[in-house]
Amino acid sequence: MAFTQLDPPLPVHVIDRGAGLAFAVIDYGPEHNLIWVTALDANGEIWCAPNPKVRMQGNWTMGRARAAAVSSERDACMGDKAA
Protein backbone atom coordinates (compact mmCIF):
# COMPACT_ATOMS: atom_id res chain seq x y z
CA MET A 1 0.00 0.00 0.00
CA ALA A 2 1.20 3.51 -0.81
CA PHE A 3 -0.13 6.83 0.47
CA THR A 4 0.92 9.83 -1.62
CA GLN A 5 0.25 13.43 -0.61
CA LEU A 6 -0.50 15.60 -3.64
CA ASP A 7 1.37 18.90 -3.75
CA PRO A 8 -0.39 20.91 -5.01
CA PRO A 9 -3.86 19.43 -4.42
CA LEU A 10 -5.88 18.76 -7.58
CA PRO A 11 -9.35 20.22 -8.24
CA VAL A 12 -11.68 17.27 -8.91
CA HIS A 13 -15.36 16.41 -9.08
CA VAL A 14 -16.53 13.32 -7.16
CA ILE A 15 -19.65 11.87 -8.76
CA ASP A 16 -22.57 11.89 -6.27
CA ARG A 17 -20.64 14.22 -3.91
CA GLY A 18 -19.52 17.35 -5.81
CA ALA A 19 -16.44 19.47 -6.37
CA GLY A 20 -13.42 19.43 -4.10
CA LEU A 21 -9.66 19.25 -3.77
CA ALA A 22 -7.92 15.88 -3.86
CA PHE A 23 -4.98 16.13 -1.46
CA ALA A 24 -3.83 12.50 -1.39
CA VAL A 25 -4.02 9.22 -3.29
CA ILE A 26 -4.01 5.75 -1.75
CA ASP A 27 -2.77 2.87 -3.91
CA TYR A 28 -3.59 -0.59 -2.55
CA GLY A 29 -1.94 -2.33 -5.51
CA PRO A 30 -2.74 -3.73 -8.95
CA GLU A 31 -5.98 -5.48 -7.94
CA HIS A 32 -7.62 -2.28 -6.63
CA ASN A 33 -8.71 1.16 -7.84
CA LEU A 34 -6.75 4.19 -6.75
CA ILE A 35 -8.49 5.97 -3.86
CA TRP A 36 -8.62 9.79 -4.03
CA VAL A 37 -8.74 11.50 -0.62
CA THR A 38 -10.80 14.61 -1.33
CA ALA A 39 -12.03 17.57 0.75
CA LEU A 40 -15.37 18.73 -0.68
CA ASP A 41 -15.91 22.43 -1.41
CA ALA A 42 -19.58 22.55 -0.36
CA ASN A 43 -19.31 21.27 3.20
CA GLY A 44 -15.67 20.44 3.99
CA GLU A 45 -16.38 16.73 4.28
CA ILE A 46 -13.48 14.44 3.43
CA TRP A 47 -14.25 11.44 1.25
CA CYS A 48 -12.13 8.58 -0.01
CA ALA A 49 -13.46 8.08 -3.53
CA PRO A 50 -12.55 5.21 -5.87
CA ASN A 51 -10.97 6.16 -9.18
CA PRO A 52 -14.09 5.51 -11.37
CA LYS A 53 -16.01 8.14 -9.36
CA VAL A 54 -13.41 10.93 -9.72
CA ARG A 55 -13.15 13.39 -12.62
CA MET A 56 -10.85 16.37 -13.14
CA GLN A 57 -12.64 19.69 -12.99
CA GLY A 58 -12.82 21.72 -16.18
CA ASN A 59 -9.89 23.96 -17.09
CA TRP A 60 -10.33 26.30 -20.04
CA THR A 61 -6.61 27.05 -20.30
CA MET A 62 -5.74 23.35 -20.55
CA GLY A 63 -8.51 22.72 -23.09
CA ARG A 64 -10.56 20.56 -20.71
CA ALA A 65 -14.18 21.65 -21.07
CA ARG A 66 -16.44 21.54 -18.04
CA ALA A 67 -18.91 19.22 -19.77
CA ALA A 68 -16.17 16.67 -20.42
CA ALA A 69 -14.82 16.91 -16.88
CA VAL A 70 -18.01 15.83 -15.13
CA SER A 71 -19.36 12.61 -16.59
CA SER A 72 -22.94 11.52 -16.19
CA GLU A 73 -23.94 9.08 -13.47
CA ARG A 74 -24.36 6.22 -15.93
CA ASP A 75 -20.65 6.06 -16.90
CA ALA A 76 -19.47 6.21 -13.29
CA CYS A 77 -19.58 2.52 -12.40
CA MET A 78 -16.62 0.27 -13.10
CA GLY A 79 -17.08 -1.78 -16.25
CA ASP A 80 -20.48 -0.30 -17.12
CA LYS A 81 -20.93 1.03 -20.60
CA ALA A 82 -22.95 4.18 -21.23
CA ALA A 83 -26.54 3.35 -22.15
What pLDDT, on a 0 to 100 scale, did the predictor assign at position 59?
77
Q: pTM for the full model?
A: 0.75
Is 83 inside a domain boundary? no
- Are 36 and 51 in contact, with CB atoms under 8 Å apart? yes
d(CA 41, CA 47): 11
What pLDDT, on a 0 to 100 scale, did the predictor assign at position 66?
61
39-65 average pLDDT score = 90
Give the residue numbers spanning the domain of 18. Answer: 2-75
Is 13 inside a domain boundary? yes
Is 68 inside a domain boundary? yes
Is 82 inside a domain boundary? no
Number of domains in the chain: 1
Taking the alpha carbons at both ends of the chain, their separation in whole angstroms is: 35
